[in-house]
Chains A and B, each alone.
Chain A
Amino acid sequence: MKKTLLFPLLTSIPMLMFAGGFQVNLQGNKQTGMGHLGTGLTLGASNVYFNPGSMGFLNKKFSSEIGGSFITSEVAFQDQSTGITERTNNPLGTPFYAYASYKVTDKLSAGFGIYTPFGSTVDWGKEWSGKNLVQDISLRAIFIQPTLSYKITDKIGFGAGLNIVSGSVELNRAVPTEPFDNSSVNLQGSTMAFGFNAGLYIQATEKLSLGLTYRSQVDVELKEGDATFDVNSSLANTLPNTTFDATLPLPSTLTFGIGFQINEKWLLSIEQSFVQWSAYETLDFDFANETTPDSKNARNYEDAIIIRVGAQFTASEKLDLRAGFYYDESPVQDEYFSPETPNSDNFGMTLGASFNPTERFGIDASMLYIIGKERTSSYSPDAFGGKYASRSFIPGIGINYNF
């Protein structure tokens, strides 16, 4: 029985792109319920991710959280000249997180996190009209983060963590090989990469808290990934199976957040992130074999902002209710819009609740609905474009245990 339950979930661990670019913002169900904000708040062990500076401000000596989300999402494309509408058939995405935070002393806290802030699974099918750009892509980045946090004063905390990143990508695309039809390539690679995050937390007054965090850019450098070509036998010599190098930058993010405890029942927060997507200039596959033409794909992303607003209502000692909204600006320019990361300006609406039956144990649930604004864009280097729009529905559940 257990096996049956896990099977459909574990087979689809890769996440679906649904935040800006291929960022996945689902690192804690409490925060997700409030528009995925938490930089200026102290909501639990997930502070390891949201703001390591606030770990020392948690109530308990030990805090932990584990959870995940179930992404169902669809991107649609409409070719304006042929009128054909095509839709992705994305597998269920299941980003997950696990955090633990421990107060070693009153001042010093140590923490650990494992989470998935970047990822994308988009499956357009083998024969769709943009098959020469991408048929399907699955991109994963699992972050492991050991963290230390220090409470400088009663009101100020600072923390920093090391990001150990396990990144992998698999991409299938058709290769135009006139006069032969039906050629394709499978590109696969994985690697380790490193980065860091740091956070400053200020409990300005009893009611007002401020947070500032920075997550560094992580360059996922794939070396000797496998390129497997499926081509007509006449082309086997010019397009043999080979290896490739490619670099995918996971951009840095600077976030500023404010939390305001209006009264015992109501907590409000707003937050703004600045994501330095301009680091993503090009996605180049450099093939080891000389006769295989390198694949250079301009991306030319632009920096983008995310604005989040959220509220929490403490209904009773055992029940918290949450709601939030965010606006996540697309980093993709209209003429460089690739169906591989089909990203529009996103509007996210969230609901959430926590049920805490005992003082130690709680269940956190959230729901996120994202509208990817319709946009008419093309990837001009390949003369492919049309209208795109997306919808995502993402329920999530987690548990927390603190003592």
Chain B
Amino acid sequence: MKKRNLLYLLPLVFAVGCEPEFDEINFNNGTADFTRTVALGNSLTAGYQGNALSRVGQENSIPEILAKQFALVGGGEFSTPLLSGEAGTKGAGVDPNLFSQGILLPSLGFVSNTDCIGTTSSGPGLSSAPYSFNLAGAIDPTGQVDASGFYNIDKTQGKYYNNVGVSGARLIHLNFPSYASANPYFGRFALGANQTMLSYAMNVNATFFTLFIGNNDVLGYATSGGDEGGDAITDAATFAALYAQTVDSLTKNGAKGAVSNIPSITSIPYFNTVPANAIPLSGPNTALLNAAYANYNALIEGYRAATVITDEEAALRTISFADGANYMLTSDPNLSALTNPTNGQPVPKLRQLKAGELVTLTLPQDSLKCAGWGTQKPVPGQFVLLKHEIENIDNAVNSYNSSIKSIADAKGLAFVDANSKLKEVQSGLKFNGTTFTTEYVRGGSFSLDGVHPTTRGYAIIANTFIEAINKAYNANVPQVNVNNYPTLF
């Protein structure tokens, strides 16, 4: 037996002097100082995904990934106010109505659904049952009262965490005095009800900061279907001024940093999974529907002939279905108000969606299949983005991004072009043999909520941060292997 073992050693003897070696790569921090870093931002900074904040999401957040890389070039410790227990493992999703009743929602998972026709398929759904937490935890400074692991931060220690990413935060919220009471994601670790996110971040006394904010200043408008949602887009000039103030504060004590622009909202899977022409029709159904709209179409034609509405508007308002894929019927409040001459009633502002208009991921498929949505009834505006709404969103993102870029340039900060990176992912971003796209679920870059990245998606953005930091500060911080991070399943 011993002799046999020795034989196996033979190749090892031969191998002496056979190891190829490389020069050490000079990884360094350049002119940046990562001794103490702070990450200020929204859900994208917190590591939120699948409609919830979870422990695994937090541990693989952009700032956590960055901190581990910074540590390789002299960076200091980094901490995140991690969830624990049930909240950590299941994920903690806040729905305002349920939250006020002491109920948290778990992350989205893939679950089996049976639709109205009786077909069973897998799709996104709550990965487990909603669970309760103790509302009293909100005012408990010891982090002991709430057993769910949501309000688990012991504030009596006065500890400042480096990751100040708060899901839902808009730019204006950074300096909003009672935000800790309004947003439990901040309330769970804020030290005092009136402490703002910005003052919290300033207390970290960081030598380097990352700022990734502004997405929610337009996202809420977009995900709630634009004009119908009642969630206003932050005015571009206000955004520019607030952003400059925020950066002024963060750089006040000489800290360097990186700021990221906002990835195009209308490119995310949330708006690009359900096609605008998701209604397949054939044979008798097509004929029946067209017959049903004949009178309406005649009415519209009458207004056109009388030049009450333009040819263009008449064409838009004419409802027509054909065999094959059909654009959904919806209502468009921007159409001209018309009155039906025969009964004095207002003419419904109906039209079909056009190519390029978007439908949200949350549109109930059963309503399309069984309740006549999109054919007999207009799809409610909260589920669609019409052309002008898309323009509002894209214009806002573009102007925010040009403000962010010019402020970053003026301050000499690293500018992270997350928007360009999203465009790369849209056309297929290859990394070590894996292709990431923006396709829902299969693209690998977006979580099941269709809005927030997967862990691998966050790793791609973290590498984008590192590239920008290396460029701006003449540094060479090592990047990460995206494929080492977990996939959705």
Contacts and interface: CB of A to CB of B under 8 A. Distances in A.
Contacts of B454: 179
Contacts of A176: 433-435, 444, 483
Interface string B30-63: 0000000000000000000000000000000000
Contact of A80 (B8, B25, B433, B486): B25
Given A92-B11, A383-B433, A179 B442 contact: yes
Interface in B1-31: 3-4, 7-8, 10-11, 14-15, 17-22, 25, 27
A133 B443 CA distance: 19
Nearest to B432: A384
B11 A133 contact: no
B442 A374 contact: no
B17 A129 contact: no
A178 B4 contact: no
Nearest to B434: A176
A76 interface: yes
Contact of B17 (A79, A81, A179, A393): A393
Interface in A160-188: 174, 176, 178-181
B444 to A, nearest CB: 3
A179 B434 CA distance: 11
A84 interface: yes
Contact of A74 (B19, B435, B478): B19
Name the residue in B20, B27, B122, B478 with the highest tally of chain A Cβ atoms < 10 Å from its Cβ.
B20
B269 to A, nearest CB: 12
A243 B27 CA distance: 46
A382 interface: yes
Given A72-B15, A74-B15, A178-B436, A83 B431 contact: no
A82 interface: yes
Nearest to B1: A4
B430 interface: yes
Contacts of B434: 132, 176, 178
Range, interface on chain B: 35 or more
Interface in B147-178: none
Contacts of A70: 10-11, 14
Contact of B21 (A7, A76, A132, A372): A76
B430 A383 contact: yes
Nearest to A388: B20
Interface string A4-32: 11011000000000000000000000000
Nearest to A130: B432
Given A178-B442, A179-B444, A180-B489, A133 B18 contact: no
Contacts of A87: 19
Name the residue in A84, A132, A176 with the highest tally of chain B Cβ atoms < 10 Å from its Cβ.
A176
A130 B484 CA distance: 11
B441 interface: yes
A82 B478 contact: yes
A39 interface: no
A54 interface: no
Given A83-B27, A176-B434, A383-B430, A389 B444 contact: no
B479 interface: yes
Interface string B219-233: 000000000000000
B481 interface: yes
B144 interface: no
B299 interface: no
B20 A76 contact: yes
Interface string B420-432: 0000000000111
A179 B432 contact: no
A265 interface: no
B480 interface: yes
A395 interface: yes
Interface in A346-386: 372, 374, 381-384
Contact of B19 (A76, A181, A232): A76
Contacts of B7: 4-5, 7-8
A87 B433 CA distance: 19
Contacts of B27: 83
A73 B432 contact: no
B138 interface: no
A383 B442 CA distance: 19
B442 to A, nearest CB: 6
Contacts of B236: none
A387 interface: yes
Given A391-B19, A391-B20, A395-B14, A82 B479 contact: yes
Nearest to A134: B433
Contacts of A79: 481
Nearest to B431: A383
Given A4-B3, A79-B481, A81-B479, A383 B15 contact: no
B432 A372 contact: no
A292 interface: no
Contacts of A82: 478-481
A122 interface: no
Contacts of A209: none
B94 to A, nearest CB: 24
Given A85-B22, A374-B22, A393-B15, A384 B488 contact: no
B440 to A, nearest CB: 10
Interface in B457-489: 463, 478-481, 483-484, 486-489
A5 B488 CA distance: 49
A373 B260 CA distance: 41
Given A87-B19, A393-B18, 15 more contacts: A4-B3, A74-B15, A74-B20, A76-B20, A82-B478, A83-B72, A132-B434, A133-B433, A178-B434, A179-B441, A179-B487, A180-B487, A374-B22, A383-B431, A389-B21
14 contacts: A70-B10, A72-B14, A73-B18, A74-B15, A81-B478, A83-B72, A129-B484, A176-B433, A178-B436, A234-B122, A374-B20, A382-B433, A389-B21, A391-B20
